[in-house]
Structures are given as structure tokens and as C-alpha cells.
Chains A and B, each alone.
Chain A
Amino acid sequence: MSTLPASTSTHSPLRWAVSDVLTIARRNLMTIVRIPTQMVFLIIQPIMFVILFRYVFGGVIKVPGNSYVNYLIPGILVQTTIFGSVGTAIGLAEDLQKGLIERFRALPMARLAVLAGRTVSDLFRNVLVLVIITGVGFLVGFRPGGGLVSYLQASLLMLIFAYCLSWGFAFIGLSAPNSEAAQAMTFPVIFPLTFASAIFVPVTSMPSWLQPFAINQPVSQTAIAVRGLMLGTAHGQSTWIALAWSFGAILVLAPLAVNRYRKTA
């Protein structure tokens, strides 16, 4: 049956690990292309949020010192990447459910490539989201005043935060019995983080008991830093606070996810 020479290439383990991560990431990204509803969800949902807040709620929301659309778009960027991370949880739960992780475990691939590949594909998807929302934002009147370099810095900050958070969603996905449960389990996490936050409205408009949480939680801090850089109104420390949250998050969440992965299946 086989006349082909079996040829194992001789790369270093690290190079193979990178190759494994990219192979898995590519496979995850193919899902978006193959399942039209995922594509629609990815593109349509953020556009809906932009339109909803810009034109439906935006008329009554007043923000100090800037137009609401300028306030809104950086927030929507952060919100969308968090919503998108739910895909990490669902995808991993599905792979577990269907036995694909079992197959991966029987292969001589890098152990952690399944998780790293998932978070890396999330990262690619977030870059796409960033481009789409920036484009839609400009169409509805978004005019960031911070300059291109600051815009790119803000984008990078947002991507780092989303990447770190992905590990938490990976943990949820590996802990869930199936993909529906995974989706349900992410809800109590993302709902307070995105809505009790400085993403859509200034925290000062919220009841006083909610304000301490709403202003200090990591999503708000990241949204404030991203907005500050994009609009050119950044306070010196906000970027560093956001970065500290990101690295703090990955330091806690990645070991949790890895540990869960080792114990699962």
C-alpha cells in the first residue's frame, strides 16, 4: 500500500511546538470559514452593537468632553473581543465532547498546542474584529484624535488583554460537560464584566454601590486605557494598569487552564 518514504523532519522541539500551535490555530479558523453562522455572528454582531448604541441609545447618553460615538467605539472593541472569547470555551468543549482531544493526545505533538492554538486563533479573529469595527466606526462618525501610533498601541493593548482572557475561557470550556453548558457558563462571567463597566456609559451614571466594582474591574480599566490612547486623552498610568491586569490574568488563568487540560480526558 505504501511506497512513500516515511519522513520525519528534524526540527527542534520548540520549532515543532510553534508549528503545532499554528496547525491547530489554522484548523480552528477554518471553522469560522466553514460555518456561515459563525462568520455572520463574528461580523454582524459588533455592527449591530455599534448601530444600537450609536443611533438607538446614543441620543440620551451624554459623556463629558467628547462625542458619544468616540466614547463608544473603543468600548465596543473591547466588548466584542470578550464576547468572541466565548468561542474559545465552546470550541474546546466541543472538541472534548467529540473526542478530538483524545485523538490529539495520541499524537506526538506538543502537549499544550491544543490550548495555545485555540488562544492564538482567537487572537487572529480579534485582529479581524478590530479592522471591521474600526471601519464601521469611521462610517458612523468615529474620529479618534490620538493619532495612528496611539491607535495601534491601543489596538495592541486590547489584543493583549483579550489574549490573556482567552485562557480563562479555555478553562471554562474544559470544565464544561458540553458546548451548550460552556456557553451558559461564560454568561455569568461576561455579563457583569461587559455591562457593569465603562464600555458603553461612564461609570459615574451608575448607582453608587455599583461604581467601585464598575470602575475598578479589569474590563473597565482596559476600556479606559484603550479609549484614552485612541482619543488622545490618556492619563499616564491607565495603560500600565491595563497591562498589569492582563499579565495578572494570564498568570492565574493559564495555569488553571493547563492544569484542567492535563486532568481532562
Chain B
Amino acid sequence: MAGFDVVKQPNQVRRHIGLAGQNATVDENLTGFENLRMVGLLNHLNKAYVVAKSRQLLEDFGLSDAAHRTATTYSGGMRRRLDLAAALVANPPILFLDEPTTGLDPQSRQDLWSIIEHLVEGGTTVLLTTQYLDEADRLAKQLVVLDHGKIIAEGTSAQLKTQMGTTVLALSFASTDDALRAKPLLADLSTHSANIEGTVIELTVEDGPKITADALRRIDAAAISLNGLALREPSLDDVFLNLTGHKAEDTLMGDGAPEDRHGRKARA
């Protein structure tokens, strides 16, 4: 890693990595500034640098006002940012983020996302694990999808999406019964199995316009009423569903292992 042997040169490796995660590991009894200073000193950086860098990070992450309050007074989003700041004190070229936005409100999530994007622009390699596939889609250049601890797909977000078919056809019915009746009629239109959720059937299809016309004819012939339809680009959720036959969240609930699916972002 970073040109060092993880077994033979553990401290060299530690000097080149930063680690932040879902359990923001900040010392609650220290202030934001003291947390960063402690981590800086334990990274064996010189004091003047640590003080300057800590101030700068607190400012960059919108924590200047709270710099001299103890972390007990911080909100969840602030802790997460402080945790990330602590991982950055030593300017690590490689950063590991373990589900950095899990449990955060949408605003804090957006804030963290832009911080991470900013870091990547600055040349940091970020390896992040996430259970939110939209997060992986937005942040990751290179993705590795894991299911039950096994790699099931690898590639860029675009590659994964193309790989599974070009379009998702969503058909919305008046009732669940109608949807259930329509499903067997439509099954063979999709290259993959048709997915039904409530009154909506989603088909992953190769040729959107043609299949749409086919589907409408069949539904009409069976005298089932249709409420609406939409054609859209597949999301990573569709990719995951397609690859595993179940949803990302189901896996999480199923075996309780949040690291089950990883979106990996790596700078080339």
C-alpha cells in the first residue's frame, strides 16, 4: 500500500492512510481543536504545523465556531466532520471511509459529499464503503459490489449500468391485483426477471420503445387498466437487484453486516 509492505512496514503505511467511519471516533471530552491536535501529535508531526493545520481543517469543515467547545456538544453531522478532519490532519494520500454518511440528515450528507469530492479533486485516493448506492454512484469512479462477502461485480458506474441492459420500464397499475395479473404476461419481455413492488412492475429491457409497445398491447389485450408508465435509466439499485436478486437493504437486514456492499472509489 502506497509503496509499502503492510506487514513489514506497518508504521510507514499508517503514516500514509487516514481512517474515518460511521462511529465517529472523536474524544467527547476534548474540544474539536484538541481532538485534531492530539491526532496530529500522535502522527508525529511538528507542533506548529499541527496547530495551523487543525485550525485550517476546522475552518474548511465549518467547525471554527465550535472549535473550542467539547465534542459532547456537537451534532451527529459535526462529529462526522470532525472525525473526517482528524483523518486528514496528516494529509494522508489514501483515505478509508467506512460508511461516512450512515445515519446523517440529508444536509449533513450533502456537506460530507462535497468535502469528499473536494478531497478527490485535490489528489487524495478515497476508498469508501457504503450501503447507499446513490452515494457510490455519485462519488465513486471505480465500484466493487459485494454481496455476502463476495465480489459480484466491478467497474465504473456507467459500465455496470450498461452491462445490465439499457432501460428500466416502470408500469404502474390501479391495484396490486392488476399488477400481479400483469406480471406473468410481461415476464418474457425482460432480459432479467420482472420486479414487482406494490402496484408497480419494473422491467429491465434492451430496447425501450419496442418493448413498451409490446407491453402495452399485452396489457390492453388482457383488459388490465394501466395508471401510468415511465422509461428511465437504470440506477445502481437496479444493478444490485439485478446482480443479486434482492435489494441492498434486504442484505443488510438479512445478515446485519453493513460492509456487505461496497462502493469503492479509487483515483486512477
Contacts and interface: CB of A to CB of B under 8 A. Distances in A.
A12 to B, nearest CB: 11
A2 B56 contact: yes
Contacts of B30: 27, 30, 34
A108 B44 contact: yes
A100 B45 contact: no
A27 B86 CA distance: 15
A40 interface: no
A99 B28 CA distance: 12
Interface string B9-49: 00110110101010101011110001000110111111001
Contact of B42 (A9, A98, A102, A109): A109
A103 interface: yes
Interface string B50-76: 001100100010000000001000000
Contacts of B60: 1
Interface string A16-35: 10011001100100110011
A9 B39 contact: no
B15 A100 contact: no
Interface in A78-130: 98-100, 102-104, 106-109, 113
Contacts, number: 84
Of B15, B38, B53, chain A has the most CB atoms within 10 Å of the CB of: B38
B3 interface: no
A149 interface: no
Nearest to A16: B44
Q: Which among A24, A98, A107 has the highest number of chain B CB atoms within 10 Å?
A: A107
Nearest to B122: A1
A103 B45 contact: no
A64 interface: no
B14 A106 contact: yes
Contacts of B45: 6-9
A59 interface: no
A247 B14 CA distance: 34
Contacts of A99: 21, 23, 25
Contacts of B12: 108
A1 B118 contact: yes
B143 interface: no
B90 interface: yes
Contact of A108 (B11, B70, B86): B11
B19 A106 contact: yes
A125 to B, nearest CB: 15
Interface residues of B, number: 34
A6 B91 contact: yes
B34 A8 contact: no
A230 B258 CA distance: 60
B29 A103 contact: no
A14 interface: no
B25 A102 contact: yes
B43 A108 contact: yes
B49 A23 contact: no
Nearest to A106: B19
A163 B95 CA distance: 38
A100 B56 CA distance: 23
Contacts of B42: 20, 23-24, 104, 107-109, 113
A104 B26 CA distance: 11
A120 to B, nearest CB: 15
B49 A30 contact: no
A5 interface: yes
Contacts of B11: 108
A139 interface: no
Nearest to A104: B42
Interface in A213-245: none
Nearest to B121: A1
A98 B23 CA distance: 8
A48 interface: no
B14 to A, nearest CB: 4
Nearest to A27: B38
Interface of A: 1-2, 4-9, 11, 16, 19-20, 23-24, 27, 30-31, 34-35, 98-100, 102-104, 106-109, 113
The 7 A-B residue pairs whose C-beta atoms are closest, nearest first, are A108-B14, A99-B25, A109-B42, A106-B19, A34-B29, A103-B25, A108-B11
22 contacts: A2-B91, A7-B45, A8-B45, A9-B44, A9-B45, A19-B44, A20-B41, A23-B41, A27-B27, A98-B25, A98-B28, A99-B21, A99-B23, A99-B25, A100-B25, A102-B19, A103-B25, A106-B14, A107-B14, A108-B14, A108-B42, A109-B44
